[in-house]
Amino acid sequence: MEVELTRDEEFAILTLNRPEALNALSFQILREIGEALDEAARSDARALLVTGAGEKAFCAGADIKELRNRSLTEQRAGAELGHAAFGKLDRLPIPSVALVNGYAFGGGLELALACTFRLAAPKAKMGLPEIKLGLIPGYGGTQRLPRVIGPARALEMILTGRTVEAREAEKLGLVNRVVEGDLLAAGKAFAREFTSYGLPALRLAREAVTRALDLPLHEGLMMEADLSTLAFQTEDAEEHMAAFEMKRKAAFKDR
């Protein structure tokens, strides 16, 4: 297995474990990512942390050696496999945090972009270098990058294929923050800012913001009215609003 899913406290941790190839995404690894995400969705973890094994890389992208000499049908199936695997992060019932511990290129950055949040080590380097191979990003980069950093900056990264260092990535909004020291510990601390809240509201908030980027404003506001009404109907909301009024403590039950 080149993808490991482990449990640590309230976290599920997905590790790409192919350091000899800088965790490059073979088709087998993409399938294993999909399976690991299904398992994470079934678990009682409250957040998923995604990282890469080894000192150098989060993930150096699609396995270039596998990409060659394929028919158009195979290419298309490969893109759909990547979309299906990373799309599971959108539908994961818990938020996810990519811990970008080194290189995140091509499909590797696309994996990080599919996560809810991204933290980076100071030495991390990111980019979509597909243009240098005569390709364009194929695992969601042309769609998710402009949604995260805006179309002008996304086009600059995609058309030049240039490498962005961690500090610049933070300024661009490509990563939420750059953290010194132990990235896993920092990822846990970051996630603990939300893991004690109720899962239904966390999920509804993620869905509302994700769909905001696809909808005209008036439709988005209607969708927000629907989702916020659903949040009001949860036991968690009722219990916490009652507890506020009665000045007593309450606990989230995820219902």
Interacting residues with ligand CAA (CB under 6 A): 21-22, 24, 60-65, 82, 103, 105-107, 110, 129-130, 133, 135, 137-139, 141
For every residue of 88-119, DSSP letters joined together read HHHH-SS-EEEEE-SEEETHHHHHHHHSSEEE
CB of 233 to ligand CAA, least distance (A): 40
Residue closer to ligand CAA (CB basis): 22 or 47 = 22
Q: List, by residue number, the catalytic residues.
A: 110, 130
| Residues 227, 237 contacting (CB under 8 angstroms) | no
Using Cβ positions, the residue closest to ligand CAA within the complex turns out to be 106
Which residues lie below 8 Å from residue 35, measured CB to CB, with a gap of 6+? 3
Residue closer to ligand CAA (CB basis): 52 or 106 = 106
Which residues lie below 8 Å from residue 7, measured CB to CB, with a gap of 6+? 13, 43, 45
CB of 149 to ligand CAA, least distance (A): 17
CB of 225 to ligand CAA, least distance (A): 37
| Residues 45, 94 contacting (CB under 8 angstroms) | yes
Residue closer to ligand CAA (CB basis): 29 or 204 = 29
Which residues lie below 8 Å from residue 121, measured CB to CB, with a gap of 6+? 99, 100, 101, 102, 166, 178, 179, 183
CB of 3 to ligand CAA, least distance (A): 16
How far is it, in rounded angstroms, from Cα 13 to Cα 239?
31
Residue closer to ligand CAA (CB basis): 127 or 198 = 127
| Residues 78, 60 contacting (CB under 8 angstroms) | no
